Amino acid sequence: MPELWKVDLHCHSWFSRDCLMNPRAIIETARVRGLDKLAITEHNNVEGARYLKRLAPDLIIIGEEVKSSAGEFIAYFVQEEVPKGLSPEETLTRLREQGAVISIPHPADSFRRSALGEANARRFIDQVDAIEVFNARCLYRDDNDAALALARRYGKLITAGSDAHSLGEIGHGYLLMPPFADERASFLHSLSQAQALGALSGLWPHFASTYAKWNKRLTGFEPPA
């Protein structure tokens, strides 16, 4: 059997406002759980991904989860941060201009207000490379199934990830895919052969995110050592 990598393409760290995970603990946990690559996709910034990339250049993919005025996009191999609140058209243009690989995260999630939604996903489907078909933070498996159906209907590549905001979640969603170089063309080729796997994380991680938001409001935003 050819070698396959285990790749979690959706993870946050302390640098996201709703996460308290220490970067070094993330890296240690990812290695213990057998991940070959981990995309750090902070909310509306690349500072955290760059920080973790310096700590573990062999493991980390620099990404960003960007909230446009219509909902979120997620991108990989991001060179320049794209700010939140732009129109979806402007968000996509800025990501494409820097050669990022663009996916739509949790497009059919029933509860997250940040989700793009199926109607908007279809609206922008020709401007993205992939659809996230498994997000471990979705509460209903049917929502992930709807994302997979959308990807198949439009012939899109697939991504998957834990959407981890706590250490216990890391690796709950992942792809098995052939090894790839740290650049767009190789990554896209590998995605074309990827298989999405994982287990839903359940309700408790959402409480952890709420706690993280309040903790930071009350105690400040001192960066991790």
- CATH number, domain with residue 108: 3.20.20.140
**Residue 164 DSSP class:** B
Do the domain assignments include residue 212?
Answer: yes
Q: What stretches of the chain adopt beta strand conformation (E)?
A: 5-11, 37-43, 60-67, 72-76, 101-104, 130-135, 157-161, 173-177, 195-198
**Confidence at residue 214, expressed as pLDDT on a 0 to 100 scale:** 85
**Confidence at residue 204, expressed as pLDDT on a 0 to 100 scale:** 86
Model confidence at 51: pLDDT above 60: yes
Overall average pLDDT of the 124-134 stretch: 98
Do the domain assignments include residue 50?
Answer: yes
Note the pLDDT tens digit of each residue in 135-168: 999 999 999 999 999 999 999 999 999 999 999 9
* 117 burial via Cβ count (<10 Å: 0-12, 13-18, 19+): middle
Domains contained in the chain, number: 1
Model confidence at 198, pLDDT cuts 50, 70, 90, reads very high
The percentage of the chain sitting over the pLDDT mark of 70, rounded to a whole number, equals 97
Do the domain assignments include residue 148?
Answer: yes
Do the domain assignments include residue 223?
Answer: no
Could you tell me the two tokens for 208? Answer: 């952890």
Note the pLDDT tens digit of each residue in 102-113: 999 999 999 999
C-alpha distances (whole Å) from 57 to each of 27, 150, 181 are 11, 33, 12
**Confidence at residue 126, expressed as pLDDT on a 0 to 100 scale:** 97
Mean pLDDT (the chain, rounded): 95
Could you tell me the two tokens for 135? Answer: 């997000």
Do the domain assignments include residue 64?
Answer: yes
pTM reported for the whole predicted model: 0.94
Model confidence at 78: pLDDT above 90: yes
What whole-number distance in Å separates Cα of residue 192 and Cα of residue 4?
13
Do the domain assignments include residue 225?
Answer: no
**Confidence at residue 68, expressed as pLDDT on a 0 to 100 scale:** 98
> Whole domain around residue 39: which residue ranges?
5-218
